[in-house]
Structure formats: structure tokens, C-alpha cells
Structure 1
Amino acid sequence: MASGTKSKGANTPKGKSGSVNKARRSSAVGSARKAKPWGMIIGLIAIVALAAGVFTYALMTVHDKEKWVVSEDNQDPSTNIEGVFREKYEAGQHVQATQRVAYDHSPPLGGPHDGVWADCQGTVYPKAVRTENMVHALEHGSVWIAYNPDKIKGKDLNALRAKVEGQPYMLMSPWPNLDKPISLQSWGHQLKLSKADDPRIDEFIKSLRENQYQNPEPGGRCDTQDTGFDVTNPPPFVAEKPDPKDPNTVTMDGKGAQDAAAEEQSGMSPTGGATPPASDGATPPASDGATPPASDGASAPATQPSQ
């Protein structure tokens, strides 16, 4: 080697190269330690979010079902239903078959009524029935589905019928010239709708059928055996409004009606099987395909039923 020529790396202090390599290795290890397992973290977040979503959905589903459960704390679940009309009526006011009630709503949702109720054992009437008998069924805790026979037909009629047939405390009948396609009645409650698939129909039924807090006589009889009411040939509907000057017209305040308790004590016979006031001769048309309620045979002589 020539004099004065420095060897490569001659000025590098001894041990410095090893220190640099060690530092580099330490840095690499530190970087590895600092790297986060993002894939795992994202996966855990997704699992937590999914679990939270499932829990929230389950909670909302349970809450939604509880909205329609009748209880001491939830005495009128129908307050959760948009469009329900409410009116308070005095119960236990009976009229005779020769009398008519000047109801304040069409169809009515309460008020004076015939001493005998219309059969409400999941009964689908093909023709309109005397109003005063239908209202008495409401007093016992029934839900009455009335429909306009000119607007509800075919599959819509079948959809409504399926909600009634075989169901206790349910009855259904056409209501000629109804201002809406469908009208639901429970005692003191009414909901008018346009479509047979409206979810509020089921909500109304769940909220008010056999509701012990909203119906005057919940659990009252729905069969009409030994009452004089013939399910296959019920008293017909009268379309004309009663004449307020007629002495047989009973007003909504109960003037002209009999107290149900006093009537029962006196042994007065029920009036459901008697001949109702004559109409103008026009019988409301039968609905298209509605199945008449089944008969249990000939009607027995009228006796005073329990209320």
C-alpha cells in the first residue's frame, strides 16, 4: 500500500459499525411491535356492531309487541294507532224490537241497543244486520268489521273474512253506503280505513277485543242460543234514519230505553227474535262470496239470557 494512502474504513472507529447495525435491528423490532393488527380490530368492530344491531332489533320487536298488550299500565293500546276516534257511552240501555236508536255515528260504536246481541263467534254475515243487535255485541267486548260492499270485494273481502271467521268476539257485515271502504268498531272506538291490508286493522283488534278496561261487559256471551236471534236469518238492517218525532225512536241519552239490570230483574224477554221495524222493502245486497255463519239448528223459544 502506498504511503499516505488510507485504507477504506480506516477512520471508522472500532465498534461503530456494530452499533449501527444493532440500532437498525432495534428500530426494525420497534416498528414491528408498534404495528397494529388492523384486520382483527376491524373484524371485532364489525362483530360488535352486528351484535348491537341484532339486540336493538330484538328490543324494538319486543317493544312493538308490548304496545298492543292490554294491561293495568296499558289499558287502551289503541292510543298508539293513528286515526282512532273515541267516544264515551253509557252501557246497559236496552231497546225493544219495535224501537230504533238515533245513533250519532255511522256505523255506531256504542249507545242504547237491543236486549239481544248479534252472534259474535267469528261470524261473517252476508247481509247487513239490524244495527241495535250489532251494537250489543260491542258491549260484550267484540270487534265489528263493517265494510262497503260496493268497494270491498274479491281478495280484499277474503282478507277481512280471514280475520273474523272462527275468532271469538269478532263479527263482520256489510254496511251499505259506508263513507269509507272499511270501518272497525269496538265499544267507544272506531277506525275507518281504505285498504284491507292496512296493518292498523290487526293493531285495532289486538288492542280492543275483549279489553276489560274499555268494554262494559267483557267476557259476555257471544253465542245466541236460546235468545231468539237466528244467525241464519237475523233481523234486517234498516237504512233510513229514525224519525226523531216517532215515539219508538230512542235518543243517545237513553230516553225511551230500559235499564238492563231492571229489565233482567223484571224477567222481561229479550227482543232480538221479534220482528223489527219495517224498512222500505229494499234488502241490502249480499256481499260477493261471503260465507253465511253456521247455524246450530232451529232457534229455541226466547228466554231471558244472561248479560
Structure 2
Amino acid sequence: MERAWSAVFARPGLTEFSCPVPTLAAEGLDRCGPAHYAKGGEMAGGKKKGGGGKSAVNAARGQMPGKGKPWGTIIAVVVVLVLAVGVFGYAYSRISDQNAAQAALAQWQPSDSNKDPSTKIQGVVIKDYKSGQHVQPTQRVAYDQSPPFGGPHDGFWADCQGIVYPNAVRSENMVHALEHGSVWIAYNPDKIKGGDLTTLKNKVQGKQFMMLSPYPGLDKAVSLQSWGHQLKVDSVTDPRIDEFISALRTNQYEYPEVGASCDALGPGQFDPANPPPFDPSKPGPDAVPMTGTGAQDAANEQGGTPPPSGSGAAPTSTTASK
């Protein structure tokens, strides 16, 4: 082969990098001599040493991976949108539920033409009690109902500004708060616990003229009291609970002392941090009867409730029993 090429290039006018075939040279297909081999031309046996020229570059470019889509950004945007839709949907659902609940309770709002909507609530017990009969802190009342919801009571009312009492409180103080327009939710601590107790707390905490306390020995799971009214239910999800509250909390037509305060009186009178405890024992023969015999008549008092005789406490200037 080398002798053959040497013979070709030995001809006058030809060089090592000249092509003896003019046609090939004119077409730029220099397939002659070592130059052709240096450029990756045909090898012996007709095989190529490698791709050359523009076609090889273009082929290489075609094999290079293109710029990928920003999947991370796309996924992040989708996640944000899904979360936003979820939050909006939840908020809308809550608002819709609240509006529906308010609409459902509208019929239980008292008015001049519907002074006591609770008369339409199944199971409500209604009794007429005389107001303004006060007993001393050391006296007990022989109540006719358990829990009581009217009758003689202590001269100092229980704090009823959306308070949750962890322990049972003396009934005589709780009844006085009913006289001021509050609703008292009592529950059986053996039956109401955990999530059920939380449900009741949510109905009371932060809501004026509401109070919640355990009541040992209660014959039902839950009992609601307002002045002269009572409703006992077996479940905290009973819709009548909200109906009772809507119908009777500060219902000006149904409680005696409209405009009376529900604020805490404080130490020496009624301390919500250390309230007088509930006495589960049966009242003795010296207990004040429901007729009020032995109680102080406070029906005509104005500008505050004086302390019961012998209590040693100073009168309070807070609006109280008339």
C-alpha cells in the first residue's frame, strides 16, 4: 500500500496532500493520501475511524440533554394552591355552618310576641319562684329540685361571666346568679369527661351570663338551669342545649332582676378562685324552706346587696338584688 501511494505521489506536480482525482478534489472529498486518514476518512477495509466534520458535531449536539422543566417550582406552586383552596374551603364551611346554626336558633330568640320560646322545647320544666329571698352563708336551703333553679339563695351571687368551675359550687350562690339572668350548665362528673366536657366548656368559656360546674349525683348527664326553668339531657350534642341557652340567657321576660351584674364579687363575698363548696348531704331541719321562712326579704333593695346579717362583709356597690 505504501509503495502504491509513493508511486502516485512520485508523479510530477503531485504532493502528499494532493488528490490525483480532480473530480473528488473539486467536490471537497479529499480521499487521497495521509490527509484523508488524518481527517478520519475510510480506513482499510472500508471502515471509518470516527465521525468527522459538521455531521459529527450536529450528532453530538442532538445527543446533549435539553434544559429540563422546573418541576420543583411547579410542584411547589401546586402545593400552595391546594393548601389555599383547602384553607378557603374550610373557612367557608365554618362560616356556612355558623350561619346555619344561627338561622336554626333564630326561632328560639325571645321577643315581645314570643316571650318564652323555651315552652316549645321538649322536656323543659317551668316553675314559678319568688325572688329576692336571701340566706346567710352558713344557712342551707331545702331546695325542691336538684340542681335547684329558683327559690331562696345566698346574698352573694356566683360569678357567671363565662366561667368554668372545676369543682362543684354551693347551690345557694349558683341560684342567685340565675336570678341575674344567667344559665347554669351542671354535669355529672362520672358521665361527662374528655371531649364531652370540652364541648360544654366551649359553650360557656368567655360568654357572659354563663357558668359550668360539676354536680355530683346528677340523675342525667347534663342539666341546664335558668331562673324558673330546667332541662335535663343525656348527651352534650343534644340540640336542645343550644335552644335552651338561646331562649333563656338574659331573657328579660323570664328572670327577676333585669340589668343585675354577673361580675365576680371577690374575696369575703364570693371568690371565684375559691368558691364555697357544694354540700351533697341532705339539708337538716334548720334549712330554709322553699317558702322563704327564715330568709331575708331583699325584694325592695336598691343599689347593691347588703351582706347577710352576721357575715361581717361590707356592702358591695355592684348592681345586685332589688
What TM-score does the superposition give when structure 1 sets the normalisation length? 0.66
CA shift in 2, pair 1:176/1:265, >3 Å: same
Give the secondary structure class of the aligned counterpart of 1:202.
Answer: helix
Q: Distance in 1 between matches of 2:116 and 2:126?
A: 11
Task: Output the CA distance in 2 between the equivalents of 1:242 and 1:254.
Answer: 15
In structure 1, C-alpha distance between the alignment counterparts of 2:202 and 2:188, rounded to whole Å: 17
Instruction: Provide the residue aligned with 2:241 in structure 1.
Output: 201
Q: Distance in 2 between matches of 1:177 and 1:267?
A: 32
Percent of aligned positions with the same letter in both sequences?
Answer: 60
Q: Deviations over 1:145-189 (max 9, x none)?
A: 000000000000000000000000000100001000100000010
Relative to structure 1, the CA distance from residue 274 to residue 146 in structure 2 (aligned partners, 3 Å threshold; closer, same or farther) is farther
* Aligned-residue offset at 1:218: 2.5
Which residue does the alignment assign to 1:257? 295
The letter of the residue matching 1:303 is: P
**Residue in structure 2 matching 1:303, options 279, 302, 315:** 315
Cα distance in 1, alignment partners of residues 214 and 305 from structure 2: 34
Q: Which has the higher contact order (CA 8 A, sep 6+)?
A: 1
Q: Aligned partners of 2:152 and 2:143: how far apart in 1?
A: 8
For the structure 1 residues 274 and 129, does the alpha-carbon distance in structure 2 shift closer, same or farther, using more than 3 Å as the test? farther
Aligned partner of 2:282: which letter? K
Q: 1:135 aligned to 175, 181, 206, which one?
A: 175
Displacement after TM superposition at 1:302 (Å): 4.0
Q: Which of 230, 247, 270 is 2:271 aligned to?
A: 230
Does residue 105 of structure 1 match 2:145? yes
Shift, 1:69, TM fit: 1.5
Instruction: Name the aligned partner's letter for residue 315 of structure 2.
Output: T
Change over 3 Å in CA distance of 1:65–1:151 after alignment to 2? closer
Which residue identity does 2:124 align to in structure 1? V
For residues 115-140 of structure 1, the C-alpha deviation after alignment (integer angstroms, 9 at most, x for no partner) is 01000000000000010000000000
How is 1:111-260 mapped onto 2 (pairs within 5 angstroms)? 111-225=151-265, 228-244=269-285, 246=286, 249-260=287-298
Between Structure 1 and Structure 2, whose CA radius of gyration is higher? 2
Distance between the aligned counterparts of 2:250 and 2:102, measured in 1? 22
Pair 84,267 (structure 1): closer, same or farther in 2 beyond 3 Å: closer
1: CA distance between counterparts of 2:137 and 2:265? 18
**Aligned counterparts, 1:11-26, within 5 A:** none
Residues 61 and 183 of structure 1: is their aligned pair in 2 closer, same or farther, counting only changes over 3 Å? closer
CA contact (8 A) 1:117 1:135 kept: yes
Preserved CA contact (<8 Å) 2:105 2:243 = no
Greater mean alpha carbon deviation, residues 181-190 or residues 226-235: 226-235
CA-CA distance at 1:303 after TM superposition: 2.5
Deviation per residue, 1:32-84 (Å, 9 max, x gap): xxxxxxxxxxxxxxxxxxxxxxxxxxxx9998544212111100011121110
Query: Do the aligned partners of residues 203 and 264 (structure 1) sit closer, same or farther apart at CA in structure 2, a change above 3 Å counting?
Result: same
Q: Is the 8 A contact 2:187 2:214 kept in 1?
A: yes
Q: Secondary structure at the match of 1:101?
A: coil
SS at match of 1:129: coil
Q: Is the 8 A contact 2:188 2:214 kept in 1?
A: yes
Deviation at 1:263, TM superposition (A): 6.1
Q: Distance in 2 between matches of 1:266 and 1:209?
A: 22
CA RMSD, aligned part only? 2.5
Unmatched tracts of structure 1, length 5 or more: 1-59, 276-300
Aligned-partner Cα distance in 2 for 1:61–1:175: 28
The question of whether the paired residues in 2 share the 8 Å contact of 1:270 and 1:303 is answered with: no
> After superposition, what is the alpha-carbon deviation per residue over 1:219-248, rounded to whole angstroms, capped at 9, x for unaligned?
31111235721111001110111112x2xx
- On the 8 A contact 2:303/2:319 being kept in 1, the answer is no
- For the residues of structure 2 that align with 1:96 and 1:106, how far apart are their CA atoms? 20
Distance 1:262 1:181, change over 3 A: same
Amino acid in the other structure paired with 1:253: T
TM-score between the two structures when normalised by the length of structure 2 = 0.63
